[in-house]
Amino acid sequence: MPKVTAPLDAAGISYVVFEDVDPNPSCKNVYDGLAVLKENNCDFILSVGGGSPQDAASCISIMATNGGTPQDYEGLHKSKEKGLPVVAINTTAGTSAEITINYVITDEERKVKMVMVDKNSLAIMSVNDPELMLSKPADLTAATGMDALTHAIEALVTPGAYGVTKKLSIGAIELIKEFLPRAVANGQDIEAREAMVNAIFLGGMAFNNAGLGYVHSMAHQLGAVYHLPHGVCCAMLLPIIERENAKRVPAAFRDVAKALGLVTDGKSDEACADYAIAEIEKLSAAVGIPKKLTELDIKEEDFDFEYLSQNALIDACAPGNPFMPTLDETIAFYKELF
């Protein structure tokens, strides 16, 4: 924090610090932060951290100028006024929350992650400094990095992808494939950290325009109910959902495979898809992501398959998937995690 607060002190800018944000930010976090903002007549928000503080800041910003409750803004472009200005200083290489119009808040009562897509929430300035990421532990680096990979792949295979977003996604995948294992193995590797910063910028711009898919729809529910790290949820679900997507749109995986290192000349679309999914699983294992929920102390007999599946189907990211799963298919996908 001194790296952030010292320049404010030197410039004579008064500020108040609010730190009570959960790993999956909740409505309570938003209300508490909004109260601090109003009590101190703050002019703008300086958000520091990974996706959780950035998401909380986005919702606080919107509610500061629009009023209402977090639930009022669930879905697409629900606010009328621009949010209070946010300067977003990012400290993890994963969510791209600092540069996108998407934020996610957990409704504790419903046990649902609410996805908000709102152009009025976009930060007026974002800072991605790899030096701020050098101290991040390996498990956090792995989880956030796999979230970034999920962004890039989902944005590449979604029907909403087009020429520019495809190039952005491919660039992100190439960087993550090469540099995420290095960043996990040695957090002080500044070259790897900087490459991951570039990757999340590329991937963020891709999904900000093309959209995401069903990996995120299902991952949101795991995080809301079981409070698991979002990136871990994405990484576990990514090969499951992309294997199903590949059955419907195998041609979409040719670029994914190429970005992951396959010479695709002479290869069928199906062979490219098989390679891509195998490489996703290999990378996930290499950075220490668990394959099964039992490794995270979640038992199958305690898992509410139907509730999570019903909420995944109505998640704002679901329409971006190449196909729309049924309730039974979604339940089957969750069962693959055991």
From 128, 150, 174, give the residue that closes a domain.
Answer: 128
From 128, 145, 171, give the residue that closes a domain.
Answer: 128
Residue owning tokens 């919702």: 59
Averaged over 259-266, what is the pLDDT?
96
Tens-place pLDDT, residues 249-260: 999 999 999 999
pLDDT band at 211 (very low <50, low <70, confident <90, very high): very high
Q: Count up the domains in the chain and report the number.
A: 2
From 128, 161, 176, give the residue that closes a domain.
Answer: 128
Residue 36 pLDDT exceeds 90: yes
- Burial of 290 (C-beta count, 10 Å sphere; 0-12/13-18/19+): middle
Residue 2 pLDDT exceeds 90: no
φ and ψ at residue 43, rounded to 5 degrees = -90, -30
Specify the pTM.
0.95
Q: Which of 29, 75, 78 is nearest to 52 (CA)?
A: 29
Residue 149 pLDDT exceeds 80: yes
Residue 1 pLDDT exceeds 80: no
φ and ψ at residue 176, rounded to 5 degrees = -65, -45
Q: Are residues 109 and 236 in the same domain?
A: no
Averaged over 217-226, what is the pLDDT?
97
Averaged over 219-234, what is the pLDDT?
97
Q: Are residues 63 and 172 in the same domain?
A: no
Return the structure tokens found at 311. 């909420």
Return the structure tokens found at 132. 């701020």
Residue 65 pLDDT exceeds 90: yes
Straight-line distance from the first to the last Cα atom of the chain, in angstroms, rounded to the nearest whole number? 40
Tens-place pLDDT, residues 73-88: 999 999 999 999 999 9
Return the structure tokens found at 49. 């951290």
Within 176-223, strands assigned E span none
pLDDT band at 113 (very low <50, low <70, confident <90, very high): very high
Residue 129 pLDDT exceeds 90: yes
To 5 degrees, how large is the angle CA 117–CA 88–CA 54?
Answer: 50
Q: Are residues 112 and 4 in the same domain?
A: yes
Q: Are residues 185 and 102 in the same domain?
A: no
What phi-psi label fits residue 17: left (phi over 0), alpha (psi between -120 and 50 degrees) or beta?
beta
Averaged over 139-159, what is the pLDDT?
98
pLDDT band at 161 (very low <50, low <70, confident <90, very high): very high
**Long-range own/partner contacts, residues 259-263 (CB < 8 A, 24 or more apart):** 259/156, 259/169, 259/170, 259/173, 259/174, 259/177, 260/173, 260/177, 261/177
Residue 263 pLDDT exceeds 80: yes
Residue 66 pLDDT exceeds 80: yes
CATH code, domain with 99? 3.40.50.1970
Residue 141 pLDDT exceeds 80: yes
Q: Are residues 185 and 329 in the same domain?
A: yes
For residue 43, give its domain range.
1-128
Predicted pLDDT of residue 181: 99
Q: Are residues 147 and 236 in the same domain?
A: yes
CA distance 58 to 64: 10
Predicted pLDDT of residue 259: 98
Q: Do the beta carbons of residue 18 and residue 32 sit within 8 Å?
A: yes
